[in-house]
Amino acid sequence: MAEFGISPGQHVAVFWDKSSPEEALKQLVDRLQGLTGSEGHVSMGNITQLLQSAHKESSFDVILSGVVPGSTSLHSAEVLAEMARILRPGGCLFLKEPVETTGVNNDKMKTASKLCSALTLSGLVEIKELQREALSPEEVRSVQEHLGYHSDSLLSVHVTGKKPNFEVGSSSQLKLLHKKSSSVKPAVDPAAAKLWTLSANDMEDDSVDLIDSDELLDPEDLKKPDPASLRAPSCGEGKKRKACKNCTCGLAEELEREHSKAQSSQPKSACGNCYLGDAFRCANCPYLGMPAFKPGEQVLLSNSNLQDA
């Protein structure tokens, strides 16, 4: 029992299953009670009922599972997580479980490495494999009867793990070191500064070849482009010519000039009632015989109308 590290006054939990011999379980509990003394406490529970139990978190200093001589208990991920929950910070878990040694992939029996990984995923740290030993004849029969598993490559593995020294869900503020910005500029290498410095004397040096930017232009680049060539292929096409929004090809200005020219060519009304209809028009009104129109609306008059007027 020395490997369990149990001392007086501690709260210990022992978990068993149907494969655990009753006499061996009773002897184990008696020995544990002798180690914990009157101030300590030893609690027993069935592994299959652990998830339905009402244990408070951080209840036990040490948890023993599957360590009853002759038992062959298996531990699921949910069971290991629950054991980690009810274990106190800094507490230890000791368990024994039959494992496969051939690395056969199956859902029923884990390998030793997968068992250690399951303990790590449950939240425990400092996972150690304490011992490997062959199964006793009673344990082999227990595996076959209670687990329905037949294999000649099984070993019994003793593993331990420790809960971290903090509770699940606890938080702590991180102290971040902020560097103060220094007002002193870093030193500049004189050689590097000289390499990237260009003075007026360097421009007069005969060894420096300077290129005239105008020499990079061809005669075609100096020609003023034709505004028609700047228009998009579809710009102004169709029965109704219309400039694009934010027009830059000159079509908007062209349409504006055409509109102003058409308005200036129309005769101006002397009375201002021409748009109301013939009933309000003068005898020599150029709009006689035409329907009424809105004020400001462009009305095109034929040459015959203008001659008659």
Can you say which residues are annotated as belonging to the binding site? 235, 244, 247, 249, 271, 274, 282, 285
Rounded to an integer, what distance in angstroms lies between the CA atom of residue 44 and that of residue 263?
106
Q: Residue positions in the annotated binding site for [2Fe-2S] cluster?
A: 235, 244, 247, 249
Answer whether 66's CB lies under 8 Å from 73's CB: yes
Q: Residue positions in the annotated binding site for [4Fe-4S] cluster?
A: 271, 274, 282, 285
For residue 192, which phi and psi values (nearest 5 degrees)? -70, -40
Task: Single out the residue of 5, 12, 1, 2 nearest to residue 40, CA to CA.
Answer: 12
The H or E element spanning position 34 is: helix 22-36
CA distances from 248 to 34, 116, 140, 232 (A): 98, 74, 92, 10
Answer whether 71's CB lies under 8 Å from 142's CB: yes
Both tokens assigned to 207: 């060894």
Task: Count how many residues are written for the chain.
Answer: 309
Query: Residue 244: exposed, middle, or buried by beta-carbon count in 10 A (0-12, 13-18, 19+)?
Result: middle
| CA angle (95 as vertex; 93, 100 as ends), nearest 5 | 140
Answer whether 92's CB lies under 8 Å from 149's CB: no
Give the E-state strand segments of 101-229 in sequence order: 125-134, 154-162
